[in-house]
Amino acid sequence: MAHELKIPSVGESITSATIAEWHKGDGQYVRAGEEVLTIETDKVSQSLEAQVSGKLTHIAAEGDEVDIGAIVATIDESAEAPPEAAGDPKPATTASAAPAAAKTVTVQRDSRATSVATNIAADKGIDLATVKGSGPRGKITKEDVLSAGGGQAAEKRFTRKKMTPLRRKIADHLVNAQQNAAILTTFNECDMSSIMATRKRVQDEFVEKHGVKLGFMSFFLKAVVEGLQEVPSINGRIEGDEIIQNQFYDIGVAVGTEKGLVVPVIRDVDKKSFAEIEQDIIDYATKAREGKIQLADLLGGVFTVTNGGIYGSLLSTPIINPPQSGILGMHTIQQRPVAVDGEVVIRPMMYLALSYDHRIVDGKEAVTFLVKVKECLEEPEAMMMGLV
């Protein structure tokens, strides 16, 4: 009996997915629970596991875009497990069996290459060690092997590959944001001395009590909530000819992954402690690295915070994440001379950038919001006690 492996539903608005990578080759025996393939949609990546044990037969190839519910493989449950899969020891080689063994060709799965690339390389006699990968993290793709000749990596002036559904969605989302909103950016700068001193003073005790480190992001998310409560219009959105005013504080945190930008949402930031926020951020970062971010993790945010500073960005003009009306850009902390009480001193400074939809947020409101965020960050202990 053949078990059908189908593309599962991953969200109401998602109608198709792309076969990103087969982890098990065509004709290979798989065990129930083993990871078989990874699919990508325009929002998330997801790994699919074998529900039964048996011989795997591919129906769709890597790179194919298939509908939700489509059958992409079958698993023949009647297939007999090979000795290695069954856990049996390999039979001893005898003199009579030696000639037959000599004719057997074994394709060694190379973790640096996709399954298809490995099979093509074996067919063409190409040494994968000589092929340079153009995929994520240097992964060797089918195109890389096809471009290689005589076992040597071919010299190419350019490569061509289809955009992933996630990358296409990001591209469309950013273009639509600029076309449909009146985006304006206002700037300020923040002296990070107090936050850095506070973190240093309480870090050991914080880790001992909560099991997580106290980072910068929890301060910024709390400061954003203070700003949104001060200027409610930024915590709203335009829907047709109406303004929807949000009464909750679910804040998105932009996370860069190898496959593109995702924005998981920290729920009810106003009600959570610093430790709970830090734990949520760690959990999302882990899920993003493992490609396990779910659609539900990305929906419903009212505002976004993005940190280009981790990549060294000194200043930027972030693009809002529709239908939200604002996004705060954090940047690298830089030692700079500033005037304090009539004297020039060196302080760790960060530029802040607020991009906002000018259709719903006036310039005065945007500046008020950013000043409030700056005040909270420069007086973190007062913010923590609700005194700012």
Structural contact between residues 322 and 299, judged by C-beta atoms closer than 8 angstroms: no
Report the top-level CATH class of 166-384.
alpha beta
Q: Answer whether residue 6 shows pLDDT above 70.
A: yes
Q: Answer whether residue 164 shows pLDDT above 90.
A: no
Q: What is the 3-state composition of the chain as percent helix, strand, coil, each rounded to the nearest 5? A: 35, 25, 40
Among 45-49, 85-89, 211-215, 253-257, which is the least confidently predicted range?
85-89
Using pLDDT thresholds of 50, 70 and 90, give the confidence band for residue 127: confident
Long-range contacts (CB closer than 8 Å, 24 or more residues apart) made by 208-216: 209/275, 210/275, 210/278, 210/279, 212/275, 212/278, 212/279, 212/282, 213/278, 214/274, 214/275, 214/278, 215/278, 215/281, 216/330
Q: Is 358 a catalytic residue?
A: yes
The answer to whether 2-93 and 166-384 have equal CATH topology is no
Q: Give the domain ranges of the chain.
A: 2-93, 105-162, 166-384
For domain 2-93, which architecture applies?
Answer: Beta Barrel (2.40)
Place of tokens 């099979």: 119
- Tell me the backbone φ, ψ of residue 179, rounded to 5 degrees: -80, -30
Using pLDDT thresholds of 50, 70 and 90, give the confidence band for residue 304: very high
Q: Quote the CA–CA distance of 252 and 250 in Å, as a whole number.
A: 7
Q: Quote the CA–CA distance of 227 and 372 in Å, as a whole number.
A: 6
From 3, 173, 210, 358, the catalytic residue: 358
Strand partners, 35: 49
Report the top-level CATH class of 105-162.
few secondary structures
From 64, 127, 172, 362, the catalytic residue: 362
Structural contact between residues 228 and 376, judged by C-beta atoms closer than 8 angstroms: no
Structural contact between residues 39 and 23, judged by C-beta atoms closer than 8 angstroms: no
Among 153-167, 204-218, 244-258, 339-353, which is the least confidently predicted range?
153-167
Q: Greater confidence, 5 or 165?
A: 5
CA-wise closest residue to 249 among 210, 277, 212? 277
Q: Answer whether residue 229 shows pLDDT above 50.
A: yes
**Each residue of 59-102: pLDDT tens digit?**
998 888 888 899 999 999 888 888 764 554 444 444 444 444 43
Give the Cα-Cα-Cα angle 238, 239, 245 (nearest 5 degrees): 55
* pLDDT of amino acid 139: 82
Q: Average pLDDT over the chain, rounded to whole?
A: 86
Among 29-43, 113-127, 227-241, 339-353, which is the least confidently predicted range?
113-127
* pLDDT of amino acid 160: 78
Q: Quote the CA–CA distance of 349 and 239 in Å, as a whole number.
A: 38
Strand partners, 345: 338
Measuring CA to CA, how many Å separate 233 from each of 204, 249, 388?
39, 13, 20
Using pLDDT thresholds of 50, 70 and 90, give the confidence band for residue 133: confident
